């Protein structure tokens, strides 16, 4: 279960969340928990999480180790502040900042090379779904985004763009249909190893709908946005059983 805080929470708010959240999930052993705060909160989050059962993620990364790239963060910088994961290819990065399948691929390569595990986001817009192009879009994003990438350290997140921050959620059946297709495409790339790659669902996941989503065979977890901003809400998702 991964929390993507997006552009939310100051360092003090991050401290308050973690201090409230840790006691709620301290006994959780069968769920991997990941939190992705803003870059400015990563050092304080790393210090507070310490040896807990929660891992830290960056929300984005650049594909060079260093250089004249004003405003960017390298994979080595994320490792330096104790990140284990990084989110790459989120639809908001594609929509607002011009990320393409090619730049996403370069970022994934750089992150894995630096020893970061990657949460690779894919998903279709409402227009693409309504025109019957969902599978074509997913196939292209997978094929181009994972070109030359090994399966090691890879997690996928299916996030239908029409369900992100809208309050709309793909039905469990819609999620399973997409996840099954993604699993099949991963099988074409990685063979039997595809069965070990976790596929998360993202898009208006809440405590009251997570169980129905997680009941589906190919839904292995969730990438949570708004509902991850409050300790009790995200804890309810983590402890959905």
Per-residue confidence band for 162, with pLDDT thresholds at 50, 70 and 90: confident
Q: Chain-centre distance of CA 190, in angstroms?
A: 20
Nearest to 202 by CA among 185, 221, 223, 184: 223
Per-residue confidence band for 154, with pLDDT thresholds at 50, 70 and 90: very high
Please, what is the average pLDDT of the chain? Answer: 96
Number of domains in the chain: 1
Tell me: pLDDT of 15 over 90: yes
Q: On the CB side of 172, how many CA atoms lie within 13 Å of its CA?
A: 12
pLDDT tens digits, residue range 91-141? Answer: 999 999 999 999 999 999 999 999 999 999 999 998 899 899 999 999 999
CATH code of residue 167: 3.20.20.70
Q: 141-153 in b/e burial notation, b at 16+ Cβ within 10 A?
A: bbeebbeebeeee
Residue 12's CB: how many other CB atoms inside 10 A? Answer: 10
Domain housing 87: 2-238
* Active site positions, annotated: 90, 159
Mean pLDDT of 45-74: 97
pLDDT tens digits, residue range 174-198? Answer: 999 999 999 999 999 999 999 999 9
Q: On the CB side of 156, how many CA atoms lie within 13 Å of its CA?
A: 31
Coil, strand, or helix at residue 3? Answer: strand
Full-model pTM = 0.96
Nearest to 158 by CA among 121, 185, 126, 189: 121
Question: How far apart are the C-alpha atoms of 4 and 25, rounded to whole Å?
Answer: 17
Output phi, psi for 86, to 5 deg.
-145, 140
Coil, strand, or helix at residue 6? Answer: coil
Per-residue three-class SS string for 66-98? CCCCCCCCCHHHHHHCCCCEEEECCHHHHHHHC
């Amino acid at each position: 279960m991964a929390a993507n805080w997006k552009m939310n929470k100051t360092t003090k708010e991050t401290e308050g969340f973690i201090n409230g959240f840790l006691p709620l999930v301290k006994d959780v052993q069968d769920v991997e928990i990941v939190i992705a705060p803003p870059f400015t909160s990563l050092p304080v989050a790393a210090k507070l999480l310490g040896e807990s059962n929660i891992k830290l993620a960056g929300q984005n990364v650049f594909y060079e180790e260093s250089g004249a790239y004003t405003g960017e963060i390298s994979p080595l910088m994320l490792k330096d502040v104790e990140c284990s994961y990084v989110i790459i290819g989120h639809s908001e990065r594609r929509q607002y900042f011009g990320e393409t399948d090619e730049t996403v691929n370069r970022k994934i390569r750089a992150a894995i090379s630096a020893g970061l595990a990657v949460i690779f986001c894919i998903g279709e817009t409402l227009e693409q779904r309504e025109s019957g192009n969902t599978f074509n879009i997913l196939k292209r994003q997978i094929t181009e985004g994972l070109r030359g990438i090994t399966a090691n350290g890879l997690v996928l997140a299916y996030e239908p763009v029409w369900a992100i921050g809208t309050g709309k959620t793909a039905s469990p059946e819609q999620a399973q249909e997409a996840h099954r297709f993604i699993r099949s495409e991963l099988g074409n790339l990685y063979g039997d190893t595809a069965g070990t790659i976790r596929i998360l669902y993202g898009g208006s996941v809440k405590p009251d709908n997570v169980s129905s989503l997680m009941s589906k065979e190919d839904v292995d977890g969730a990438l949570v946005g708004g509902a991850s901003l409050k300790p009790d809400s995200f804890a309810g998702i983590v402890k959905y059983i």
